Structure 1
Amino acid sequence: MTLSVRRAAEARGAAPALVFDSETLTWDEVHRALPAIEREQAALTLVAGRDRATILSIFAAIDARLPFAPLHPRATPDELVAMRAVLSSLSDLSGVPDVPDVPDVQAGGDASDEAPLAYVFTSGSTGAPRAAILSRRAFIASARASADNLAYGPGDRWLLAMPLSHVGGLSVLTRTLMAGATAVVTPEGPMSAEELVRRMAHAEVTYASLVPAMLTRVLRAGLEAPPGLRAVLIGGAPATRALLAGAREAGWPVLPTYGSTETCSQVATRATGDVLDTDGRIGRPLPGVDLRIEDGEIYVRGPMLFDGYIGATSSPEVSGFDDDGYFATGDLGDLDAEGVLWVRGRRSELIITGGENVYPAAVEAVLSAHPEVVEACVYGLPDADWGEVVAAVYRSATGPIPDLDDWLRERLAPHRRPKRLSCVNHLAELPKTSSGKVDRAALRRRALEGSEPDGSEDGEP
């Protein structure tokens, strides 16, 4: 297994590599169609839709050993400007941190595999964009661990329905490339559950990666799994016991996973045939992954870990690494006597909605920038379809703001816009903690109890 289009073309030339709506490309055809890449740039930056040109450009960058930065196709112009500003520091090598050595990262690899392959954006604790540095070594180790666990290889077909700006979508490309397998690519834009399953059946998909929201829509539509489907990895947000049990009853071979951008996708996954569905129960660590629990928090070490963030220092407070090379995930969990990982929740205030990460502070900053908003608070609320939805409460001197939805639509990507938007009485302040900060927990608790602020209104669905 190697991360090279040229090698895949040599080994699997006539085999299908990419299946689109209108065409299927073999590995030979992919290799011949790779665009020329300007090697002098620090990184290839591209708005990463699931289209032919973008995927070929990513493959070209991989073979040219040029790092690339896939940006979210639904990001607003302001968000794209902020991400490009982060990437501008690549011209200054001080923006790339040193991190503790990870044992055995070179085993079976090449020194050049330590070079960055991709800069994948995630959000820091303030909601400001930051790019995780993922090396070739990380993607190679992740793909090998996944293949060892799932036993996929040439001849398998993996559904690509997740954003390429996320490591979950990007990893479908690197896994199929290394295995000489096939990526079945769905187009950008909304898609019904019926259409998704029809495409899977028509393309004879054997593996798929879905977020719980996608699986929920499929089950609500009463759709059975297409024949030949061997495994569906569920990640990006917690999957409930009820969802997993319902999926199995409908014949969907679901496997809960745990991972993040910083771990280059999954580091723990349910074993095939394990049908013990319990809230929070994931599975054993993948080959090459070390897990430990410290003060209830999950720590990860292994060759698939990222190498820090662009612009961050190597101090544990910033990078998340300790002196032994373990990364503090910020997630709470434990390991049982059989070595199975259980994930209990998040230590941070991160909202995960439909597999998308949203930090409250970033949305609050946009809300508070409206000239009529006095103060604002954002939090997540549980939702059967999306796992969580973004909710917000604001106070205005004049009461509800009629054009606030339009204001947010221009400045926030759809997954970051509040689905539930409330305005309190202009004479009432938002509740505060003893330190004078807005009491996010109290507002969320009120919403869960059904105690709405005066003047509440529904946001954009």
Structure 2
Amino acid sequence: MQNNIGSLLSKRAQISATVEAFVEVERNQRVTFSELNARSNQIANVLLQRGVKPGDRVATLLKNGVEFIENYFAVAKIGAVLVPINWRLVAPEIGYILSDSGAETVLYDAEFDTVVGQLAGDSSDSSNITSWLRVNVPGVESPLAVALDYAALTAEAPDTEPAIGAGDDDLLFIMYTSGTTGHPKGVMHSHNNMLWAQLTSLTTADMRGGDRFLLPLPMFHVGCLVPVSQLVHRAGTGIIMRDVDMAVMFKAIEQEKVTIFMSVPALLQFMLVTPEREQYSMETVRWIATGAAPVPVSMIEQWKALGIVIYQAYGLTESCGPGTLLSPEDAVEKVGSCGQPQMHTELKVIDDQGNTIEHGSDQVGELCLAGDHMMLGYWNKPEATAEALIDGWLHTGDLCTIDKDGCVFICDRKKDMVISGGENVYPAELENVLTGHPDVQEVAVIGIPSKKWGETPLAIVVAVAGKNPSIDDLKAYCKENLAAYKVPQCYEFVAALPRNASGKLLKQELRKQFNQPAPF
């Protein structure tokens, strides 16, 4: 029997037909597993009617919602390939992903009419798109002639099970992650990858049937897409947050009796200090999992005082999420660690010659992961794939130490990535944009500490001789070409960037020189 992720929903609908599958709090939508499966079948049949075949890429520009989930399982059932797009991106960034992936169908929320209008009029990046399916805002007509009515099409489609179109090692989704070259890379994952990612998480952390899982992170992230799949696999209920609104979130936690959820340290900190926390009960919450950065002991203790323990995770898009996990029991003793390898995951730390570093040596090396949930590779990038996947091991690019107990401590990022508020920001992408400004000669971007975001990018700029660009001007230029969360808020102007004899930029020198935290 083929493993098809979409068929998991079909099976769950048989076993747990009347169990509540997902609740969307802002729009007050509730669907059972039976209802979700029927809706998923309808959109699957719509896609088939429009000529979508196994292996075809279907892109989504959707906020968190039932529509995202039903499309995910529909695309999986018919053997097509989901391309979930970060809706924070601007039109040129989205256009690159559409062009690179070769997607021919796009499903999008009506609130993105403006950016879709820009894309639909751009013959270079979206000429391959044959169908634009618009998820309607009630009472709001589409301003775009190309838009097809999602609700009308699905209402008319049969809810019969489509023929399963793929499975096992066939592609399930391509998730784009920013790369050090400035262009995003499409991470390829199969049905088997997702199955093993689910099993890995389910057998490492304390997730139970009947759990009510808050979903505040965006579903275009693997950190939310895997839990969505897990909930179907385990018969839990997902509580969907369309946007992160503190009042709505705390109200949902109390009213929907949330038991577990995934977060990032910046959001956990906001939750502790926001006044809305005092207005609602969190007594049903058992644990929170978080990633992207270590959690300080003070924050762990604050959550513990509320009766809630913290799991700290390390993972990547390339690993389909799971990597390591630090249990709540070890959180204080192993502060700063991201824990040990999860179930069904192998780990090693290697030196520059590829030799495995022994536990407890304090030697810094590169973290490598292996397991059946590692990516197939990068879409259309065989050289990058060959660099990342060597003899079955995923080379993460993260530098770390490993203690005598096998706990990993990340100490640097080989690829200079900045994690700001849980979002990956790659300096090369920002540098490429800023050097396009006519008054900028060259620029280097590094991460500096931020009390609010954990880290934030600092742009160190060398201006063109005779020019004097303002910070506001550079910010405005970035906003035209980058998603808002990537735009540097901190700038320094220098006469020249430090380089070695061969001309290589010395970012370590910049980190020493500009080591003060951001003013926010």
TM-score, normalisation: structure 2: 0.77
Q: 1:255 aligns with which of 304, 311, 314?
A: 311
Structure 1 residue 66: Cα displacement? 1.9
1:407 aligns with 2:461: no
- On the 8 A contact 2:369/2:393 being kept in 1, the answer is yes
Is 1:236 the equivalent of 2:303? no
Q: Which residue of 1 aligns with 2:81?
A: 67
State the shift of 1:400 in Å. 3.0
Q: Determine helix, strand or coil for the equivalent of 2:382.
A: coil
1:382 corresponds in structure 2 to 449
> What is the one-letter code of the residue matched to 2:200?
A
Residues 1:320 and 2:320 aligned together: no
**Is this contact kept in 1: 2:339–2:407, CA < 8 A?**
yes
Q: CA deviation at 1:164?
A: 1.4
CA contact (8 A) 1:142 1:264 kept: yes
Partner of 1:13: 17
Counterpart of 1:444 in structure 2 is 511
Using the TM superposition, give the Cα deviation of residue 62 of structure 1 relative to its aligned residue in structure 2, in angstroms. 2.2
The one-letter amino acid of 1:27's match is F
* Corresponding residue number in structure 2 for 1:148: 203
Query: Hey, what's the Cα distance between the residues in 2 that align with 1:139 and 1:153?
Result: 19
Distance 1:126 1:227 in 2: 46
Shift of 1:314: 6.2
Distance between the aligned counterparts of 2:31 and 2:283, measured in 1? Answer: 23
**Could you tell me how far apart the structure 2 residues matched to 1:288 and 1:115 are?**
20
Match of 1:435 in 2: 502
Alignment-derived partner of residue 63 in structure 2: 49
- For 2:431 and 2:507, locate their aligned partners in 1 and report how far apart those are by CA, in whole Å: 11
Q: CA deviation at 1:44?
A: 1.0
Report the 3-state secondary structure (helix = DSSP H, G, I; strand = E; otherwise coil) of the residue aligned with 1:435.
Answer: coil
Q: 1:369 to 1:17 in 2, by over 3 A?
A: same
**Residue 57 to residue 376, structure 1, CA distance change in 2 (3 Å):** same
Q: Structure 1 residue aligned with 2:491, among 404, 417, 421?
A: 421
Q: 5+ unaligned residues in a row in structure 2: which ranges?
A: 105-165, 352-364
The alignment covers a number of residue pairs equal to: 427
**2:129 — aligned with what?**
none
Preserved contact between residue 127 and residue 359 of structure 1 (Cα < 8 Å): yes
The one-letter code sitting in structure 2 at the alignment partner of 1:347 is K
Q: By how many angstroms is 1:133 displaced?
A: 0.5
Asked whether the equivalents of residues 266 and 421 of structure 2 are also in contact (C-alpha less than 8 Å), the reply is yes
User: In structure 1, which of residues 333, 339, 343 is the aligned counterpart of residue 406 of structure 2?
Assistant: 339
Taking structure 1 as reference, are residues 319 and 312 closer, same or farther at Cα in structure 2, changes over 3 Å only?
A: farther
Cα distance change of structure 1 residues 391 and 271 upon mapping to structure 2, 3 Å threshold: same
Residue type at the aligned position of 2:209: P
Q: Percent identity between the aligned chains?
A: 26
Q: Is 1:203 paired with 2:256? A: yes
Asked if 1:165 corresponds to 2:220, the answer is yes
Question: 2:4, 2:258 → 1: CA distance?
Answer: 23
Q: 1:108 matched to which residue of 2? A: none
Residues 388-421 of structure 1 show CA distances to partners (whole Å, capped at 9, x for unaligned) of: 1011122333213353222111111112100212
Alpha-carbon shift at residue 86 of structure 1 (Å):
1.9
Find the aligned partners of 1:61 and 1:258 in 2 and give their Cα distance: 28
Distance 1:342 1:144 in 2: 25
Give 1:429 deviation, angstroms: 2.5
**Structure 2 counterpart of 1:103:** none
Q: Distance between the aligned counterparts of 1:2 and 1:275, measured in 2?
A: 37
Amino acid at match of 2:251: R
Question: Could you say what secondary structure the match of 1:149 adopts?
Answer: coil
Could you say what secondary structure the match of 1:329 adopts? strand
2:428 and 2:331 mapped to 1: Cα distance? 38
Q: What do residues 397-450 of structure 1 show as CA deviations (whole Å, max 9, x unaligned)?
A: 3213353222111111112100212334xxx23333333244333333222158
Q: Which residue of 1 aligns with 2:355?
A: none
Determine the structure 2 residue equivalent to 1:130. 185
Structure 1, unaligned runs of 5 or more: 91-110, 453-457
Cα 1:449–1:407, aligned 2, differ >3 Å: closer, same or farther? closer
Asked if 1 retains the 8 angstrom alpha-carbon contact of 2:289 and 2:310, the reply is yes
**4+ residue runs over 6 A deviation:** none
Q: For 1:26 and 1:220, how far apart are their aligned partners in 2?
A: 35
